[in-house]
Structure 1
């Protein structure tokens, strides 16, 4: 049972890393396609996509990073991930374009770093 839980935690951390990367790609493509080419604004800039993405990030982050603290006793990944989620939330509150993209990309970068550190903590001996 313990192995299954560890496997789930690792998969959630990996999912968090992949989703962070996809979010960053979405931001960059959104600016390029909408800003420079005038394409896809209705879909790419939809507030619903951003709210759902933030909700998924908060859910995955809370579970995997929270369990990581319980497993290896390191709070740093949770704090780093929390800061990243705050930046992502701030990105929802500003206007579309560069301010949103910068906040969101900085946020997802911190979230990915937190998940990477959490995965490294899985390899460390439990305290």
Structure 2
């Protein structure tokens, strides 16, 4: 009963994680294009705090939503994939701004997003099995 009440929260967190992953990838691509192509906004787009806050949000959302899902569904794959993505994102903080950072970040957010998608699929599959008695 408690899981049914909490499940919509976890789904919202997974969807928020997917949205934030996409926004992060877009930020990386736009940063490279605007700064290298036009020489605009380097101090804003490459501000270290933006990346630190993004990693913190990604870690919190993925940790809660995907960790919760892993415990509920007993499926490690979404958790392992998302944590691998967070590792890439953390690695991006250790390299200078530019293409290397963007590549590491985009790989990371793609993996985190995939973890959220798999978590949503497992939640849906589990809910169907519980309703159908399978």
**TM-score, normalisation: structure 1:** 0.97
**Inter-partner Cα distance in structure 2 for 1:31 and 1:24:** 11
**Inter-partner Cα distance in structure 2 for 1:99 and 1:75:** 29
CA drift at 1:75? 0.7
Aligned 8 A contact 1:88 1:103 in 2? yes
Aligned 8 A contact 1:72 1:124 in 2? no
Structure 1 equivalent of residue 95 of structure 2: 94
Structure 2 equivalent of residue 66 of structure 1: 67
Structure 1 equivalent of residue 106 of structure 2: 105
CA drift at 1:50? 0.2
Structure 2 equivalent of residue 51 of structure 1: 52
CA drift at 1:3? 2.4
Unpaired runs of 5+ in structure 2?
none
Unpaired runs of 5+ in structure 1?
none
Structure 2 equivalent of residue 77 of structure 1: 78
**Inter-partner Cα distance in structure 2 for 1:71 and 1:15:** 19
CA RMSD of aligned residues (A): 1.2
**Inter-partner Cα distance in structure 1 for 2:82 and 2:70:** 12
Larger radius of gyration: 2
**TM-score, normalisation: structure 2:** 0.92
SS at match of 1:101: helix
CA drift at 1:123? 1.1
Alignment deviations for residues 52-107 of structure 1 (CA, whole Å, 9 cap, x no partner): 00000000010001100111110100000000000000001101110000000000
- Size of the aligned set, in residue pairs, is 127
